[in-house]
Amino acid sequence: MYKVTSAVFAGLLGLWSFSSTVLADGITGEVGAGISYQPQDPTGGRYETQAIPYFDLDWGSVSLGSDDGLTWSALNTNGITAGPFINYLPGRTANGSLRGLRDVSDMAEVGGFIQYAPAEFWRVYAQVGQAVGGAHDQGGVLGKVGGELGYPLGDGIIGSTGLMAHFADTRQTQTFFGVNDKESAASGIRAYNASAGFQNLTLTQSFEFPLANHWSLLTSASWTHLVGSAANSTIVKETGNVNQGQVQTAVSYKFD
């Protein structure tokens, strides 16, 4: 349940125009809207409540998801799917407790993924991408590995539990967690050079409750624990949190 920008939709329209198979298969999945209470940036010092869209749509081999962005399963065999993706990376406005640090531009992430899902209710996956469209010295390489297990709970209720680890190169970690000398002087936060490696572990618990024909209520709660260079950042130590939470809810409509 995250923002999807015009870059994602532009990519979707491009793939759509070149894929007659997509048009022939039609749309399946869910679409909806809701609200989220979440950190404003990865350091976790400030929280916000915002409206969010929800997408879990398939057009043949093309998918649009709130978490995974726009993906194309160029390979799809024996439960293994792989291909390119484009997703949205939210930036940061350096105000409040972060005043004096640099703003971080909203960016797009472009890369590839691989997933193994031999059954409907569980999967393991990995993806690696390049952040593009950022300001000078912002961006870098990032990715994630994880797994998700879904299970029916009766009366049409579906639960799912996911565990995911994010990693990034030095440039991407420095973008959000580093503080140069100029920023240190302006913000009062000690200078810090971030390094590559795993950034966090995220545990998510979600439920889907049927409301009426085609309609469902979606809820999720996530706990994120910063690790490595991200956890040691002076921004996190002075204004942020190593442990962060996120709560989301949405109402969705399911296409047959």
Q: What is the pLDDT of residue 114?
A: 98
Q: What is the pLDDT of residue 246?
A: 97
Both tokens of residue 60?
A: 């043949």
Could you tell me the domains of the chain? Answer: 32-255 (2.40.160)
Instruction: Give the residue among 174, 209, 208, 210 at the shortest CA–CA distance from 194.
Output: 174
Q: What is the pLDDT of residue 86?
A: 96
Burial 66-90 (b: 16+ CB within 10 A, else e): bebbbbbbeeeeeeebbbbbbbbbe
Both tokens of residue 80?
A: 């293994």
Could you give the maximum distance between any two Cα atoms of the chain, in Å?
A: 59
Checking if the pLDDT of 23 tops 90, the result is no
Least confident of 2-11, 141-150, 163-172, 194-203: 2-11
Question: Tens digit of pLDDT for each residue in 106-144?
Answer: 999 999 999 999 988 899 999 999 999 888 888 999 999
The CA-CA-CA angle for residues 42, 225, 201, to 5°, reads 95
Question: Tens digit of pLDDT for each residue in 124-134?
Answer: 999 999 999 88
Checking if the pLDDT of 203 tops 90, the result is yes
| Alpha carbons 225 and 163: distance in angstroms, whole number | 11
Please tell me whether the overall predicted TM-score, pTM, comes out greater than 0.85 for this model. yes
Distance from CA of residue 39 to its chain's centroid?
Answer: 13
The CA-CA-CA angle for residues 178, 184, 189, to 5°, reads 80
In order of 2, 12, 30, 108, the CA distances from 9 in angstroms are 14, 5, 16, 12
